[in-house]
């Protein structure tokens, strides 16, 4: 599976890559040198909207993709290019905040997060995901419909792109 390093201007792209299970380094504070070093040392694809950074990466013979346009189009382009399915699979998703691995908690295990969520959330949901690195807790709340809807939108854009190219 392709690993990515994403510049500060593409935070939403990084979010969707992580949610679809892709190892994605993103920090809004990372300097260009750090991004280039990570791309080199960890064999990551650089995703950037900075033309100069893109050119520097190419000169260093790093794989880099220059992304321009609307966020949805950028996400669809990356998914299409790297054959990423527009589906959030909770068994492979990564932490949207830190890129860490998520561990499923259900049944008795969910007690681990009791102090990290509201009581009514704890009582209402049976399955939670805990980030092994930063401790963030996730569950399929009301926003989940929007996640599914957005992935459908990306799928639609990818199909439109295929029709225009072929």
Q: For residue 64, which phi and psi values (nearest 5 degrees)?
A: -140, 145
pLDDT tens digits for range 38-53: 999 999 999 999 999 9
- What CA–CA distance (Å, rounded) separates 158 from 134? 33
Alpha helices by DSSP H, listed for 42-141, are: 51-59, 71-81, 119-124
The number of helix segments (H) and strand segments (E) in the chain equals 6, 7
Confidence (pTM): 0.93
pLDDT tens digits for range 53-76: 999 999 999 999 999 999 999 999
Confidence band (pLDDT; 50, 70, 90) for 166?
Answer: low
Share the mean pLDDT of the chain. Answer: 95
The structure tokens listed for 91 are 């068994």
Q: In the chain, what are the domain boundaries?
A: 4-90, 102-138
The structure tokens listed for 161 are 């792109």
């Amino acid at each position: 599976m392709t690993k990515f390093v994403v510049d500060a201007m593409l935070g939403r792209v990084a979010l969707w890559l992580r949610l679809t299970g892709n190892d994605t380094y993103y920090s809004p504070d990372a300097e260009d040198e750090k991004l280039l070093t990570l791309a080199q040392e960890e064999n990551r694809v650089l995703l950037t909207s900075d033309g100069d950074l893109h050119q520097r990466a190419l000169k260093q013979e790093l794989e880099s993709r220059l992304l321009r346009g609307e966020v949805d189009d950028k996400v669809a382009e990356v998914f299409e290019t790297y054959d990423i399915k527009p589906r959030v699979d909770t068994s492979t998703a990564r932490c949207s905040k830190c890129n860490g691995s998520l561990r499923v908690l259900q049944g008795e295990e969910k007690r681990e997060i009791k102090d990290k969520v509201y009581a009514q959330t704890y009582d209402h949901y049976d399955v939670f995901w805990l980030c092994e690195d930063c401790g963030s807790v996730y569950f399929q709340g009301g926003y989940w419909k929007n996640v599914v809807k957005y992935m459908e939108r990306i799928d639609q854009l990818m199909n439109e792109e295929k029709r225009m190219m072929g």
